[in-house]
Structure 1
Amino acid sequence: MTNTSRRKFIKNSTAVVTIAGLTSIFPKLYASVGATQKIRVGAIGINGMGWSDLNAILKHPDVVCTALCDVDNNVLQKRIKELEARGITVKGFNNYRDLLKSKDVDVVVIGTPDHWHCLQMIEACQAGKDVYVEKPLGNSIAECRAMVDAVKKSKSIVQVGQWQRSQQHFRDAVAFVHSGKLGKIRLVKAWAYQGWMKSIPVKPDGPVPAGVNYDLWLGPAKKHPFNPNRFHFDFRWYWDYAGGLMTDWGVHMLDYALLGMKATKPISIMASGGKLAYPQDAAETPDTLTTVYEFEGFNVQWEHATGIDGGPYGKDHGVAFIGNNGTLVLNRGGWEVIPEKGRMDGIAFQRSVDDGLNLHAVNFIEAVKSRDSTTLNCPVEDGAAIAIFSQMGNIAYRTGKKIYWNQETWSFGTEDADKLISASYHNGYRLPTI
């Protein structure tokens, strides 16, 4: 996604949608909104996708925002003013635990860096809140497992921000894959070639910016002097906080690879890549990576590259189901079928016609109102499955070995791979025992 596309996406996410437009999509949901009580929403982490998620949820007429939280007071005050300009008055917090204590919050949106998702989601559930948590669900396999257990123990409705699951064209494409018309599928490719992401220049450590609670930003991550490269958006290129493009984009594209193949756990995983484009820049995660997941009868292959957009089939992101009769290529823009000559008819590009984030938000609020988690398009179990799958790819890369997952023991059986199953917690924080 280009920077321009990202700005357009966020702008579209904050635009006001008329109730009339939504009622045409969900007539039963909006038929009696006047008789329902407002659902009070608070958001934690509001600089990027957390803000987009909140604004998508606020388009629902039964929702009101009552609280915002961010460790960067500059961001917090900016967002408070933006809501005030729209006639919305909220309380502001710098510490998420203060927001969770608020009796004026029913639903929590979590848009913080990946290394905070687990603790904040679990504590929100323990506080009796419903949760919309950004992807990837957790920053380690162990975190994802704990988060699933926490939701099962609570009565909370939890939606994971895999918003493509709410788009009709993705569902149509998967239904076609399931029809069998492509014939035997031997390989599924998923990729993200991100030309917008250039080299991150090395910058010196420096003072913490005024208004930033840096210790609270670090939380369970190990101590490190403040560096602008590790803060806000670019945190995702450091192992302490995230998993690079594999967990940033991989959880989206690989999610549909698994849905299409009705697959869950691989037999083996191997990966190769590194900092091949920008070997001397400041990022830690690989700018180029190929990962192969072995399943019974087929493989799933992940590719990512930064600084270039020339991905497979001329697309900078996507999923391709390669069958004996033809190949279905799917991305956020739509899907098509490229036939093998004489074996099937092709299908011209079917364009996306809806807004996945807005639909995902409505799906979440509908589940909150009905108290029925089975209606969620991405419940915590599904978010955990794809986050774990992506983490397996990173572990294969970081160990430099072909690894094998044992679902019975929740381990790989090798010391170097098994030590990466759990994220290291620091500064007095501990992974909750559920």
Structure 2
Amino acid sequence: MLDRRHFLKSSTTLAAGLYLSPALLQARNKIAASDKIRVALIGANNMGFGILRHHLALPEVDCVAICDVDQNVLERRISEVETATGKKPEAYSDFRKLLEKTDLDAVIIGTPDHWHCMIAVAACQAGKDVYVEKPMANTIGECDLMVNAKNRYQRIMQVGQQQRSGQAFIESRDLVKSGYLGKIRKVNIWSNFNYGLGNLVKPPQEIPEGVNYDFWLGPAPQRDFNPNRFHGSWRHFWDYGGGLMSDWGVHLLDMAIWVEEQPAVPSRVLTYAANVNMENRDRDTFDTMNVLYPKKDFLINYDMNGGLQTGPYGKPYGIGYVAEKGTLVVNRGGYEIYPEWDGEAKAPKIEAKKLEGMKESHNAHVANFVECIKTRNQPICPPEDGRIAALHAHIPNIAARVGAEELIWEEEKRTFKGNMAANELIWPNYREPWVLPKL
């Protein structure tokens, strides 16, 4: 019999669609219906469908429904899943109708960020477990609502910060926390990506056929349709996302938080932000940011550059744990330790270590979620941890939006100290008839 690890490796994702190996299909057919985990996908265009692929790589998982407001996407994804598994998921254009299904254990939320909270809370209220993409919500207040919903309705909720399931990051965390590097002085983080510039400006267009654009906007403000605000590039606008900071920043900052003795939201944040490249770009968010987070254990220094692709150590993105005996540099490909030199001993202070050839870890993160659905154990990234990472992204974004070089977050009061403009951005203003969930 093939084990779980073999299944994770034997399922192959093809650019043209979804492919499951014959061995995996055979094993899926041997699992009793009573032992199946029935999942549904809400938001099926990009990352959501990628996460569904990893769910279907596990033989005990069936996809019973898919929901999307773009009928073109919905029909394509339904067909791909039916072709790959032999079972046709039900099609929905309204997540609320999908959540009425009784033969459903969990939902995957792959929508733009501004939808995460409403759908996650509704799913918890309907008795469904939740896998939600990062950042877990588009505002600080919505993060609190999601944590409260998970606890009140006793659901399993996994936030898609999959680096917590990656070998390179797990080993790096263990090396840091074991004291191998000595005392950590600071954690340097950088993320340089071309797409952080946003798209070139385009004029408004007609709504594509088959798209329920009003539903896609949902609680966000009414806007004319523009492809720059739609599939793939919506994250460059505050209505729906937080730019490169909340896309990559939340992943990388999470890895700095993970090695704190007692991970916590930042109380003091110093921010520089600007749009340096103004070449006819369509975006609200910033292409350039530097953020300092003075923490109890060490300083976190985040450096972000949209439109650039090179960075320290020859890596476009990464994390450097700077310590007294050496610096550990890690990204999704692996890690390397650069020892400090001991002048008296005429030798490195620690042994150099290296791990190479790592791949992305969505599969392991999804497998952890599915296992927790069965055991009811805490997943590796519950919403409490997702909230901490999200606030590390939201607070500097808020600071940049209101022109504040420094913000002080008062965690017990859930407010910013002495900054009314920043406090107005803690909660979203939902467009009627949508209403912010109440718990």
TM-score relative to the length of structure 2: 0.90
What secondary structure is seen at the aligned counterpart in 2 of 1:188? strand
Distance 1:359 1:310 in 2: 29
Specify the SS of the correspondent of 1:260: coil
User: Residues 318-363 of structure 1, C-alpha deviation per residue, up to 9 Å, x if partnerless?
Assistant: 1111112211111100111111222523424312546511111111
CA distance in 1 between counterparts of 2:318 and 2:21 reads 28
Within 5 Å, which residues of 2 pair with 1:169-188? 169-188=168-187
**Which letter does structure 2 place at the counterpart of 1:431?**
L
SS across alignment from 1:427:
coil
1:39 Cα deviation after fit: 1.6
| 397, 410, 422: which one aligns with 2:414 | 410
How far off its partner does 1:214 sit?
Answer: 0.6
Alignment pair present for 1:73 and 2:71: yes
User: Would the alpha carbon gap of residues 172 and 36 (structure 1) be closer, same or farther in structure 2, given more than 3 Å must change?
Assistant: farther
Looking at structure 2, the residues matched to 381 and 296 of structure 1 have their Cα atoms a distance apart, in angstroms, of 19
- TM-superposition CA deviations, 1:120-142 (whole Å, max 9, x none): 00001111111111111011110
Q: CA deviation at 1:252?
A: 0.6
Equivalent residue number for residue 380 of structure 1? 383
CA deviation after TM superposition for structure 1 residue 428, in Å: 2.2
In structure 2, give the amino acid aligned to 1:391. Answer: H
Deviation at 1:107, TM superposition (A): 1.2
Alpha-carbon distance between aligned partners in 1 of 2:397 and 2:270, rounded to the nearest angstrom: 9
With 240-249 and 264-273 compared, the bigger mean Cα shift is at: 264-273
Secondary structure of the residue aligned to 1:417 is helix
Residue 107 of structure 1 aligns with which residue?
106
Does 2:362 match 1:362? Answer: no
CA offset digits 1:380-402 (Å, max 9, x no partner): 11111111221112112222220
Aligned equivalents of 1:159 and 1:190: distance in 2? 24
Query: Does the 8 Å CA contact 1:70/1:94 hold for their aligned counterparts?
Result: yes
Distance 2:124 2:433 in 1: 21
Go from structure 1 to structure 2 and tell me whether the alpha carbon gap of 1:348 and 1:15 turns closer, same or farther (over 3 Å shift).
farther
Q: For residue 215 of structure 1, report the CA deviation from its aligned partner.
A: 0.7
CA shift in 2, pair 1:351/1:13, >3 Å: farther
2:20 to 13, 16, 19: 16
Aligned to 1:284, what secondary structure does the other structure show?
Answer: coil
- Gaps (5+ residues) in structure 2? 1-11, 343-347
1:226 aligns with 2:225: yes
Structure 2 CA distance, aligned partners of 1:405 and 1:232? 33
Q: TM-score with structure 1 length normalisation?
A: 0.91
Cα shift readout 1:270-321 (whole Å, capped 9, x = no counterpart): 1112110235311110011111111235311111112211112211111111
> One-letter code of the match for 1:349?
K
User: What amino acid is aligned across from residue 83 of structure 1 in structure 2?
Assistant: V
> Structure 1 residues 17 and 336 mapped into 2: Cα distance closer, same or farther (>3 Å)?
farther
Write out per-residue CA displacement over residues 207-253 of structure 1, whole angstroms, 9 at most, x where no aligned residue.
11110001100001011111110001100000010000111011110
> What is the distance in 2 between the residues matched to 1:324 and 1:61?
47
Query: Structure 1 residues 300, 132: closer, same or farther in 2, change over 3 A?
Result: same
Given that 1:267 and 1:296 are in contact with CA atoms closer than 8 Å, whether structure 2 keeps it comes out as no
Q: Equivalences for 1:197-236 in 2 at 5 Å?
A: 197=196, 199-236=198-235
Whole-Å separation in 2 of the counterparts to 1:13 and 1:377: 29
Alignment of 1:257-406 (within 5 A): 257-262=256-261, 263-278=263-278, 280-296=280-296, 298-342=298-342, 343-353=348-358, 355-372=360-377, 374=378, 376-401=379-404, 402-406=406-410
Distance 1:155 1:298, change over 3 A: closer
Greater CA deviation, 223-232 or 336-345?
336-345
- The CA deviation at 1:156 is 1.6
Residue 145 of structure 1 and its aligned partner are, at CA, apart by 0.4
Cα gap change, 1:422 to 1:322, in 2 (>3 Å)? same
Q: CA deviation at 1:192?
A: 1.1
Letter in 2 for 1:144: C
Letter in 2 for 1:53: I
Map Cα deviations across residues 151-193 of structure 1 (whole Å, 9 max, x no partner).
1000221111111111122111011011223223222111211
Instruction: Report what 2:8 is aligned to.
Output: none
Matched with 2:53 is 55
Q: How much is the aligned-residue C-alpha RMSD, in angstroms? A: 2.3
| Identity in percent | 41
Change (3 A) 1:371 1:185: closer
Q: Does 1:64 align with 2:67?
A: no
In the alignment, which residue of structure 2 is the partner of 1:243? 242
Query: Is contact 1:14–1:56 with CA below 8 Å preserved after alignment?
Result: no
Tell me the SS of whatever aligns to 2:64: strand
Question: Is contact 2:265–2:391 with CA below 8 Å preserved after alignment?
Answer: no
Unaligned 5+ segments in structure 1 are 1-7, 24-29
